[in-house]
Amino acid sequence: MAKILMHCCCAPCSLSVIDPLRAEGFEPVAFWYNPNIHPWKEYEARRDCLLAYAPTIDMEVRVKEHYGLSEFVQKVAGDIGGRCTFCYENRLEAAARYAAEHGFSAFTTTLLASPYQRHEAIAEAAGRFAQEYGVDFLYRDFRPNFRAGNQRARELGFYMQKYCGCIFSEADRYQNKIRRDREKYSE
């Protein structure tokens, strides 16, 4: 099997990607680099869940440890609505660079498993960085596997996150409650 670097945002999303890659003759090597995930306890829970799961399926994990709260907030503060572009580009450039520097001919990402992510933006950024670093980007639409992957993650007792990872998406998930509280408590 040909090894492929698989940028991995979390263990639950990896369940939608690993088996299809293996069925195609690829052996995924998970690459953890997610300086967008906040707060620290969220970052730690997602990383540690992946690290605990990987040995049970004989999957290698490479960790580029970087909790980047300050850097992330500084980069997106001027355009919080466009933060996903920076987030994709930051992680996918790191994956492409890592693949090139460590002898991988191709990379992919578990971001492609989520129906909540912008696939066109992911594919565009990954393709650009693949070309820049001289590696291939393997695009696959893993979204059809998402629900089954999440169900399997629950069965395995994985930590299941409630938002994509950045502190702003965490706030977004509470917008209705924030609005209700504002109406309730405002004079």
Residues at the binding site for [4Fe-4S] cluster are 9-10, 84, 87
Number of folded domains that form the chain: 1
pTM of the entire structure? 0.92
Report d(CA 178, CA 184) in Å as an integer: 10
Query: Which pLDDT score is estimated for 171?
Result: 84
| Helices of type H across the chain | 11-14, 18-23, 40-53, 69-76, 83-101, 119-133, 146-155, 167-172, 175-185
pLDDT for the residue 142:
96
Matching residue, tokens 């001027």: 78
Q: Which residues of the chain have pLDDT under 70?
A: none
- Given a contact cutoff of 8 angstroms between Cβ atoms, the answer to whether 108 and 7 are in contact is yes
Amino acid at 13: C
Question: CB of 36 within 8 A of CB of 165?
Answer: yes
Please tell me the predicted confidence (pLDDT) of residue 9: 94
Residue 31 · residue 10 · CB < 8 Å: no
CATH number of the CATH domain containing 15: 3.40.50.620
pLDDT at 166: 85
- Residue 80: give the domain boundaries: 2-185
Give the residue among 126, 60, 54, 58 at the shortest CA–CA distance from 96.
126
Please report the pLDDT score of residue 180 as a whole number. 85
Point out the annotated binding site: 9-10, 84, 87
Phi first, then psi, for residue 146 (nearest 5°) are -60, -50
* Six token digits for residue 40: 């620290």
